[in-house]
Chains A and B, each alone.
Chain A
């Protein structure tokens, strides 16, 4: 499925993946006047400089040549190759993808001037942030006849009332995934955050646990375990969460946002804090590889974070027309269902129900029963002072 031929963006890196056409004209405007270098065959030197000019010009301009391309900035592992090729066939265009593994990473890159993305798939609080900083283009609902397929429960959210800018794509829950056989063998509970935070359980899992390298996600898990809301901004509560994390840290193998899927599948890691669709993939991978164990996943009883990811149009995107076509394509029940069937993400599309694999439909992490729904919360954006305090706590968590 999704192989490592497509390198993922990092939380800490500025790495391009698919070739992004540079938006600057580098050529003559940057190079100052030519000064022939003296009697050292000045004509030769002049010719050399001209060749360099031409080289620079052709190489940079060739990348700006208009192609029917749609630039999608999406989470890692959040769309399948099959879906991509079917879309490319239907629109006779090319889908160029770039990836992020964290909302913060995506927002940071956009804030630093990254441009040219037509479509982004941020989570609710990030959508809120993007709307407030006026980076989005409103969507034209007339171009989206399939919008009626979406379950109204997922529309008209607090972060985008009236859905002026966003269309639901999929949702995931941040929960715990685990090696079922190992956990049973060690007699450990699998329905609570305690197994991630309590030394008495962690003792048996030393070096076999990973948590997400995400400030909000890890703090949310700790806050939920302590009985607070994920949107609690009381600094005293945050300090308790921080201390809880610091206490558990020595038992964890790593803070990890992307490779935990592989580690779970191989059997190096027995318990991981991660996203439900990633856990689904680990489960499938383990089965296909014929491993002697099963990967299972569950939403802890104390509650967890629900991430509703939506498609939005960035205002610097060059092809809003193709973007709308993609959105409408993904709103078709069949395509939306393909997403769920292949990556195990939650599905807000009513029309998709009929196409979804019954085995997956039965999975409570994919389709929420009311009791689980009650425990879930969506993250709200923080203000700048809170972000600063959180950042300091994160530094403390990393260092202490």
Chain B
């Protein structure tokens, strides 16, 4: 048993309690009914290789605090970088000032759903080795060791390697008495092989998902990067030589490495209550899954069970307490194919009388206001469900889709179009080689209603992304999505080579 990682001493050495006391007491003096203060430090690093050469080496740190208040029933917010008690008190004053500017334009008083007080709570994510503690020479040597065999392989003209990691520390306190101190670590590594030939260029990328783990992820825990990289040249060569797909209706078996992103776009975002209520209408968009359909919307087939959680080990959205001091939870979003839940924050939970918030408030930086952001949204496997091979065995003519690539979906989450790293033809229940120029396109509910079967726990993979965007000013959030392989009938397949161009 490895030791549980500890909270970073350099973060604990900040004057956290003084900042809290100064900000909250000033907010209370100014008559705020609610106030919270958040001190946040984000350490981020990025390395990239272009072939063998180090292309990017950038380390950055963001450190600051913000104060959010409800003053005379109106939100006010202010953020800054000066970590002094005086600065924190002035920030509370600025937050109240922004509330006063907003008051004439705010017809409804802000109410917040109740949450138990979590006094002096601490939480640290589950990882073994903080990547910041690894020697730089060792980090670069590991990347070179991964990319060397790729560049030595036939048919690989170039390789791009990207490695990013983050350590996130947050201190949160509110007038009610909650104080939380937390730490998370996450890491993403992607390697792309590029072929340049007489017919143009093609790529093939690793499928390893970003995860809430440390450096150990690159050295054998949770993923075998060496084995995956060893397969890339032959996968790329087959892709280059593959015939173009025939457009039309096809049955699809979708691998978790692709399906996670379809879940993210067509279920994750569509069940954000702020979207359903119109708060994102001018930007990220709204949702076809409107609030009046809670409990009745036929989202998908009866085998569809989707959960939201902030609890799964190594999940990118997993955290002890959200940025409103709400403790981590797990909840149903779609059960037996029917919409049964939304992602909430405290204001919306109160507004819609849904009881306690399910803990989906998140801000990506100390200077950004928390908003409702996605928990880990996952499609559950069937307890005794089939293997991926069994699912493929149930298809006479179709496609097996592996790895995410291009994605796009409309502002109400109806019409989506996805591509992938590789598509295999299925003929009579067996894989029959790759095809290229493939995109699958559908309307969300048509797609999920066409899901005939989900795979068993043995097919389940926790995928995810570092870069989920939402809000104005724009915020970026990391999020995981677990899912099994799944079988869909009669999905629209486009041949992308036939799209665009001259009529």
Bind each other: no
